[in-house]
């Protein structure tokens, strides 16, 4: 039988007589508690054996995380401090104070519970008739990784440093052996500088291994396409064969880079005018019918959104329904991705990148340059759809639905950098951020509808 620490929120106190007297009736805390109660207890990581110390109730811990993230408190140490200082957090925690290690462990081990809570909040919104999956907006944004971009290293430079470090390690070992024979130092202890060099070399070895594995997997993905191109070339007669396609490269490019702190992160920039950052490309699918709730999330390691559209749309849980129309900006323009979704019966509206939506342009006037017409059939059809009145009205919803979501998450909630490292951990953290945003948004919609 599981043992839980008693955290009775109805426990009477002297000052105040009731903790709820200090939490307004319309506070987000009450909504978060009710939403978390819908999550099945089996989704949490629980010590069912009942051995050891009593554990904090998992629903209380999840509510604590959601409420703190919604109010811009992300660090486990700051969450622990808030259980003493913040009245809303203290009410959520039932006047108990889990330490930062417990909070970190819960956040790390209960990814499935966070995913279920994300779905339960959306199902609750549908029950309240505040969510209807139909037209959705898709967009991506760069969120900084928990790593310094100056810790990135190129493949060729990593190989050079490995050789240099090996020579230095061999030299230090010879010095240690000579000192051992002379009895000048403790024979059981290597110099500190030797340990530092061995640690750095092991990091470089792991970085090179990851780059080589990444190149091998990329070559496996490109092998089928190369074989198809070679088969088409062999069918051509004589001189019309053309240049022979190069086989997929099995080794990494010399300029390929990897970060020693967070190998899964990548150097990215928002646009050509922005600087490079060590970041992830976070994706969100947002309801464009009025609720502005996040329906699906994922994290990409690619700076471009060109190949993300299909994967983004498929993050929507089937129990919520299938979207009928998808709105996306020009960064998602990919004919193969559009065709795949259209075959599933989904209408797509993507900017073709050829129109200026500014009614009054404050920029200096530029000479008019004649643009070449689109050659791809799908781009021509897309431009015709966007030129229609219905297409223009529908596409206007993209900017006013998905972009405010990222603005609220970054500016209001203050989430601009991941705390965890690795693609799997970062994906779980991004889903928790989206869950906190959805609770914040749905609570606001409920208050407006009341």
Q: For the segment 214-268, what is each residue's pLDDT rounded down to a tens digit?
A: 888 887 777 777 777 777 777 777 666 667 777 778 787 888 888 899 999 999 9
Same domain, residue pair 290 and 436 = yes
Same domain, residue pair 271 and 161 = no
Same domain, residue pair 248 and 272 = no
Same domain, residue pair 307 and 344 = yes
Q: Is residue 119 included in any domain, yes or no?
A: no
Task: Tally the domains of the chain.
Answer: 3
Same domain, residue pair 99 and 176 = no
pLDDT for res 29: 93
Domain boundary among 219, 241, 259: 259
Q: Is residue 234 included in any domain, yes or no?
A: yes
Same domain, residue pair 79 and 64 = yes
pLDDT for res 186: 55
- Above pLDDT 70, what percent of the chain? 92
- CB burial of 43-60 (b: ≥16 within 10 Å; e: otherwise) equals bbebeeeeeeeebbbbbb
Q: Is residue 122 included in any domain, yes or no?
A: no
Q: Is residue 161 included in any domain, yes or no?
A: yes
Q: Residue 336: pLDDT above 70? A: yes
Name the pLDDT band for 438 (thresholds 50, 70, 90). Answer: very high
Task: Provide the whole-model pTM.
Answer: 0.86
Q: Is residue 9 included in any domain, yes or no?
A: no
Domain assignment of residue 195, given as a range = 152-259
Same domain, residue pair 278 and 341 = yes
For 279-307, the pLDDT digits (tens) are: 999 999 999 988 899 999 999 999 899 99
For 38-96, the pLDDT digits (tens) are: 888 888 888 777 677 788 889 999 999 999 999 999 999 999 999 999 999 999 998 89
pLDDT for res 104: 94
Same domain, residue pair 253 and 280 = no
């Amino acid at each position: 039988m599981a043992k839980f620490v008693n955290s009775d929120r109805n426990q009477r106190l002297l000052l105040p007589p009731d903790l709820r007297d200090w939490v307004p009736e319309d506070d987000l805390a009450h909504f978060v508690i009710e939403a978390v109660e819908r999550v099945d207890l089996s989704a949490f990581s629980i010590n069912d054996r009942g051995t050891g110390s009593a554990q904090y109730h998992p629903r209380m811990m999840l509510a604590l995380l959601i409420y703190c993230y919604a109010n811009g408190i992300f660090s486990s140490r700051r969450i622990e401090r808030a259980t003493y200082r913040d009245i809303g957090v203290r009410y959520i925690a039932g006047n108990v104070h889990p330490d930062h290690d417990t909070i970190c462990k819960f956040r790390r081990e209960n990814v499935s519970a966070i995913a279920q809570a994300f779905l339960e909040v959306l199902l609750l919104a549908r029950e309240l008739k505040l969510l209807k999956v139909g037209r959705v907006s898709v967009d991506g944004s760069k969120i900084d990784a928990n790593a310094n971009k100056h810790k990135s290293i190129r493949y060729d430079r990593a190989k050079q440093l490995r050789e240099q470090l090996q020579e230095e390690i061999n030299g230090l070992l010879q010095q240690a052996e000579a000192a051992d024979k002379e009895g000048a130092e403790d024979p059981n202890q290597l110099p500190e500088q030797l340990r530092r060099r061995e640690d750095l070399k092991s990091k470089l070895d792991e970085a090179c291994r990851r780059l080589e594995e990444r190149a091998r997997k990329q070559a496996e993905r490109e092998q089928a396409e190369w074989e198809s191109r070679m088969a088409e070339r062999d069918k051509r007669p004589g001189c019309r064969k053309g240049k022979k396609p190069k086989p997929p490269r099995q080794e990494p490019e010399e300029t390929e880079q990897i970060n020693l702190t967070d190998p899964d992160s990548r150097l990215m920039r928002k646009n050509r005018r922005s600087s490079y950052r060590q970041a992830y490309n976070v994706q969100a699918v947002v309801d464009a019918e009025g609720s502005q709730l996040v329906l699906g999330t994922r994290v990409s390691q690619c700076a471009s959104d060109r190949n993300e559209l299909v994967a983004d749309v498929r993050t929507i849980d089937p129990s919520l329904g299938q979207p009928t129309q998808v709105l996306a900006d020009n960064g998602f323009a990919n004919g193969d991705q559009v065709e795949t979704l259209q075959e599933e019966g989904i209408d797509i509206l993507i900017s073709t990148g050829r129109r200026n939506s500014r009614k009054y342009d404050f920029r200096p006037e530029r000479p008019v340059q004649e643009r070449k017409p689109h050659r791809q059939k799908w781009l021509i059809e897309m431009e015709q759809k966007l030129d229609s009145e219905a297409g223009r009205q529908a596409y206007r919803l993209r900017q006013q639905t998905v972009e405010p979501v990222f603005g609220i998450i970054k500016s209001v909630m203050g989430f601009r950098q991941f705390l965890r490292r690795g693609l799997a951990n970062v994906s779980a953290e991004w889903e928790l951020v989206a869950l906190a945003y959805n609770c914040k948004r749905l609570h606001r919609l409920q208050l407006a509808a009341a």
